[in-house]
Amino acid sequence: MHAFLLVLLLALASIANLASATTPGELAIGSTLREATLQSLTGPSRKLSNFRGSPLIINVWASWCGPCREEMPSLERLNQRKGALPFEMIGISTDDYPDAAKGFLKKTKTTFSHFIDQRLLLENMLGADRLPLTLLVDSKGRVLARFYGAKEWDTPEARALIDKAFR
């Protein structure tokens, strides 16, 4: 029953997202991420293509976003306890000011890599017309699923969803 619900959830997310592409240049589910340089908040800047080769979870957030503040601890717990789930995780801030984003990261004590998108390039490509936004991307850079709103990403159900998507 849980497997059926997970497949249904992924299918519904895909259908809903195909019908609701609203940001300029937004990639549809199944499309491959375009190249972009990620300006780092927590380490060296990187190219988006540097993450190819393993599945990727991308979380788009802002320091002023209440649901983003609510969701970030569960993303950190997921990252800390991912166990056998082979993925990388990055955060992308849509803040206008790096200091605001860095203050948020200091407060939340997240350990995964975070970047800032002051020019809206990633925000538009990923479809972040609402925050928070979490994307599941396969090892080849294809967008598998897009989830809007705060979620508890470290629950058994969420972990099963991620595991199923990345198989």
Q: Is the pLDDT of residue 12 over 70?
A: no
Structurally, the chain folds into a number of domains equal to: 1
* 92 CB-side CA count, 13 A: 28
Domain range for 162: 2-166
CATH of the domain at 128: 3.40.30.10
Flag the least confident range among 2-6, 11-15, 119-123. Answer: 2-6
pLDDT in tens, 152-161: 999 999 999 9
Instruction: Tell me the pTM.
Output: 0.85
pLDDT in tens, 57-105: 999 999 999 999 999 999 999 999 887 778 999 999 999 999 999 999 9
pLDDT band at 15 (very low <50, low <70, confident <90, very high): very low
